[in-house]
């Protein structure tokens, strides 16, 4: 009665169209963000000087993760996006 189940396939390999690098960038970004949140919590204590390592690790992780994510995510180029939009709009006019 129901449809056939699709075979399982790995979703993180580039040959299947799913690249792991954007997710790796987001992982670094949020890991750095957690470090920065911990540093912000540490600023409420008098011995904040012991926790500056959180700041020095957190800031580069946030920047590195954001950079990886921006460089590796799949987005059509601007000209291609406008071409697709024009095609959609012209198709709507024909109907």
Cβ atoms within 10 Å, residue 34: 14
Q: 4-13, 15-24, 27-36: lowest mean pLDDT where?
A: 4-13
Torsion of CA 32, 36, 38, 40, to 10 degrees: -170
Residue 83 is predicted with a pLDDT of 82
Concatenating the DSSP letter of every residue in 17-35 gives: T--SHHHHHHHHHHHHHHH
The string of pLDDT tens digits covering residues 37-93 is 999 999 888 888 888 999 999 999 999 999 998 888 776 677 777 788 888 888 766
């Amino acid at each position: 009665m129901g449809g056939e189940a699709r075979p399982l396939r790995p979703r993180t390999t580039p040959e299947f169209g799913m690249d792991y690098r954007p997710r790796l960038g987001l992982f670094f970004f949020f890991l750095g963000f957690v470090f920065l949140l911990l540093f912000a919590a540490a600023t409420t204590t008098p011995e904040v000087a012991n926790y500056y390592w959180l700041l020095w690790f957190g800031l580069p992780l946030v920047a590195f993760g954001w950079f990886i994510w921006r460089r590796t995510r799949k987005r059509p180029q601007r000209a291609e996006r406008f071409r697709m939009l024009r095609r959609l709009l012209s198709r709507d006019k024909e109907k």
